[in-house]
A and B are shown apart, each in its own frame.
Chain A
Amino acid sequence: MKFKAMGMSKVLRVSGIMLILGLAIEAVSLMFNHPLSFMGFIIVGGTLLGVGVLLFLFSLVSIAQSNPTSAPK
């Protein structure tokens, strides 16, 4: 249980840091009207946001699978 809790918090940290970085890149890119800021937002920011969200969702699914009793009846 402790291991699972530790695993979850680690995944949350990694996912959270990726999301914060992605959002920071989005905020910086919105300060400029230039193709490079557009590309930075789409490629770097979009990738970090996408991976961060997917990592979080994946962690939810893996927890639900490892603990089937917690699934709604």
Chain B
Amino acid sequence: MPGPNALLFALIGVTIIVIAMVVIRPSVTMTREGKMLAFVGFCVLPILCGTLGASEHFERSKQTSFCLSCHIMEPWGKSLFVDDPAYIPAAHFQNHRIPADEACYTCHTNYAMYGSLKVKLNGLHHVYVNYFGKPMNPIHLYEPFNNRECLHCHEGARSFQSPTHVAMMDVLTSNQLSCVSSGCHDTIHNTAGQDKVKFWSPTP
């Protein structure tokens, strides 16, 4: 069975054929059926193709390879391969606690209502700034990392229900204490210290 991409390409092909028919012979629009064909070819099908194409592009933009295809993100991609379990992103990525092919998106999305939309708009801004603007230096988050993103997976998990975590659950859920605060899980990407660490190479 053809995949969704093949169907989308087929739909684009059919739309181009319908439009070309009307462009080459505009007289077909003199009949009622011709008018309907023109309306479908010039309005309904292009909108459908555009919507499906945008949806496919947005899905692809979740991929780790997409985020790391910008040169500026190279150190952050490299940090996923640090051979040290204290590095939170590396430990999550290497042990597949998060989907490895959507690693950036899984932790840096926003698990609130319309969060996905907000993050995708931010992503559009990132792409725009990377090519047409001046990226922030040093790169930093727009707002402090929200515990909600960690608790989305960890809350209720057996490994998370240690006495320490249970005792501070209220301050964690209210963001009064950050999961990544000093003394807790404070080693994140740490791109500045990459010359002092070993890296893990996955077995091919």
A72 to chain B minimum Cβ distance, whole angstroms, is 13
Complex Cα–Cα for A9 and B38 (A): 11
Residues from chain A with Cβ under 8 Å of B53 in the complex: 26, 29-30, 41, 45
Tell me whether B128 is interfacial, beta carbon within 8 Å. Answer: yes
Are B23 and A13 touching (Cβ within 8 A)? yes
Residues from chain A with Cβ under 8 Å of B39 in the complex: 60
A29 to chain B minimum Cβ distance, whole angstroms, is 7
Are B69 and A53 touching (Cβ within 8 A)? no
B101 to chain A minimum Cβ distance, whole angstroms, is 11
Are B66 and A35 touching (Cβ within 8 A)? yes
Residues from chain B with Cβ under 8 Å of A36 in the complex: 131
B11 (CB) vs chain A CBs: closest residue: A23
Number of interface residues of B (CB under 8 A): 37
Are B46 and A30 touching (Cβ within 8 A)? no
Chain A residues numbered 1-27 whose CB sits less than 8 Å from any CB in chain B: 8-9, 12-13, 15-17, 19-20, 22-24, 26-27
B36 to chain A minimum Cβ distance, whole angstroms, is 12
Tell me whether A33 is interfacial, beta carbon within 8 Å. Answer: yes
Residues from chain B with Cβ under 8 Å of A26 in the complex: 12, 49-50, 53
Quick check: which of B13-21, B161-169, B185-193 contacts chain A, the rest being far away?
B13-21
A2 to chain B minimum Cβ distance, whole angstroms, is 12
A44 to chain B minimum Cβ distance, whole angstroms, is 12
A40 to chain B minimum Cβ distance, whole angstroms, is 10
Partner of A17, one of B23, B49, B57: B23
Residues from chain B with Cβ under 8 Å of A15 in the complex: 42
Are B131 and A53 touching (Cβ within 8 A)? no
A53 to chain B minimum Cβ distance, whole angstroms, is 6
Residues from chain A with Cβ under 8 Å of B130 in the complex: 35
Complex Cα–Cα for A37 and B71 (A): 16
Are A23 and B8 touching (Cβ within 8 A)? no
Partner of A20, one of B19, B38, B56, B70: B19
Residues from chain A with Cβ under 8 Å of B57 in the complex: 29-30, 37-38, 41-42
Interface residues of chain B, those whose CB is within 8 Å of chain A, are: 5, 8-9, 12, 15-16, 19-20, 22-23, 26-27, 29, 38-39, 42-43, 46-47, 49-50, 53-54, 56-57, 60-61, 63, 65-66, 69-70, 124, 127-128, 130-131
Instruction: Known pairs A35-B61, A38-B66; list 12 more (Cβ under 8 Å).
Output: A8-B26, A15-B42, A16-B20, A16-B22, A16-B42, A30-B5, A33-B63, A36-B131, A42-B57, A52-B46, A53-B46, A56-B43
